[in-house]
Structure formats: structure tokens, C-alpha cells
Structure 1
Amino acid sequence: MQDTILIIEDDESILEAIQMILEAEGYHVMSSNSGEILQQFVDEFPNLLIIDEYLPFERGSEICKRIKLQEETANTPVLLLSGHAKIAEIAQKCGADGYIEKPFNLLSFIEIIDQHLKVSQ
């Protein structure tokens, strides 16, 4: 079965680029510009989430905290995405499984995704 990755990113060009990269790697990708999309997942949650830290109405780290506090989603890998100088610290404080710094190296980006999906299986 194909892994599903959810990307929450408000910058349309970054969102499209990440989606194209991951689809080319064989992943099923869903995307949104806000955390509200999480409300639609009832029975099956994505295998991995990539969440931008700076969304218009909420921080990615706050979304991550909510995901990690719920028993049914606590083990889902969450990666924060940001150009913030302290993204590693922010990711650690909210319980994220990792982070991706903007701008990112394509090969490193794919390695991080693959690594977190293998660990979660």
C-alpha cells in the first residue's frame, strides 16, 4: 500500500514543489494551506505530516502538539518545515519527530521523508 503524506503549507509555490517531488518518489500526497484539513480524517490518518511553522492562522508547532496529544495520532510522524533559525528547538518543544529547514536540499529532503516513514512502519 502506498504511503500517504499530508503537507500543510500556505505558500502555494512551495506546496506545489513539495507535492511534485513526493509524487515523483511514489508517495500519495494530500495538501492544504491550513490545519483545518485534519478535521476530515476520521478513519484513516496520513502516514506522515509535513507542516509549515508559519501558517496564517496558527503555528505548525501548535498543530503538532494537538496531533501528538491524541492517542490515535500520537505515533504519526510530524515534520515541521521552516526557515526559522530555531526550527530545531521549536520542533523539539512541540514533540515533532523532526524538521526540514527552508531552503532544503532535494536529496536530504527525500532522505528525511523516507527515514521517518520507515521508522513509523
Structure 2
Amino acid sequence: MPARILVINDEESILDLFRMILESEGYEFCSSTEAIENVTAVEELDPDLIILDLKLGMQEEGWLTMQKIRMYPPTQKIPIILCTAALEEAREQEETLQDKGIPIIYKPFDVDELLEVVQRMLPFPDTKSPSRKKQAP
């Protein structure tokens, strides 16, 4: 089973780009164009990795979404990659994010860099492995 990657970004064109890149590499792609209000929706999707934009709409709702994911026990261990064009805001938090194991990819990004970080962040090395398992409550 391929790794399932959830991309949260408010721009359809960016989501289309991520879909093209990730599906061509054999990943299962799912997406959301808005901040996750109810984090149980992330739990139900059961992604192996989340790629999250810092700014969703005119607000920095990506921070709030990331905090919700990290604070909810069933989703707190899902790896997150922050992918953003909000350079100043992200750089202010870059050291803290790195300490928490959350890499930042700045837009515009290099496809090879994105894929290298995705592979590194996946919880299992073989993305086609059926090793994804739901954790018991």
C-alpha cells in the first residue's frame, strides 16, 4: 500500500502540482483547501505524512492546524512538513520547528528537495510497504 500524504493548501493550482508530483512517485494523495477545524477528520484520513501551508486564506491558520494535530493524541505522531511562501513568519519559528522535527520547505521549492524531505519524513522507508497500521486507542 503506498504512503498516504495529506496536503493542506488553499490554492487549487498548488494542490494540482502536489498531486502530479506525489502521484507520479507512487504516493496516495489527499488534500484539503482549508484549515482543519475538526482534527478527527485527519485521524479518519489516516495519513502517513502531512504537508501543510502556513497561510491558509489571509490568516496564518496553518499554525493553528499544526497545533491541533500535535495536541490530539491519535494524530500527534504524524510527521508534518511545512511548505510555505511566508518566509518571514516561518523563519521566526524555524529553530523551534526544527527542534520539533518539522522541516520547512520554502516556496518556490525544488521538486527533488521536496521528494527528498518527503521520503525522509515517512515513518517507514519503503513507501509501497503495507506496514501502515492504525494504532489501538
Structure 1 length as normaliser, TM-score? 0.84
1:60-75 mapped onto 2 (5 Å cutoff)? 60-75=62-77
RMSD: 2.1
User: Kindly tell me: are residues 92 and 79 of structure 1, through their superposed partners in 2, closer, same or farther at Cα, counting changes over 3 Å?
Assistant: farther
SS in 1 for 2:87: coil
User: Match for residue 10 of structure 1?
Assistant: 10
Query: Which of 1 and 2 has greater Rg?
Result: 2
2:52 counterpart residue number: 51
- Greater relative CO, 1 or 2 (CA 8 Å, sep 6+): 2
Structure 2 CA distance for partners of 1:70 and 1:39, relative to 1, 3 Å: closer
Sequence identity, in percent? 30
1:59 counterpart letter in structure 2: E
How does the TM-score come out when normalised to structure 2? 0.76
Name stretches of at least 5 consecutive residues in structure 1 with no aligned partner.
none
Provide runs of 4+ in structure 1 moved above 2 Å.
Answer: 35-44, 88-96
Q: CA deviation at 1:85?
A: 2.1
Query: 2: distance between equivalents of 1:24 and 1:83?
Result: 24
Can you list the C-alpha shifts for 1:50-104, whole angstroms capped at 9, x where unaligned?
Answer: 1111102652111111111111111100111111224244355465621111000
- Structure 1's 58 and 35: CA in aligned 2 closer, same or farther, altered over 3 A? same
2:51 maps to amino acid: I
Following superposition, the deviation at residue 41 of structure 1 comes to 4.2
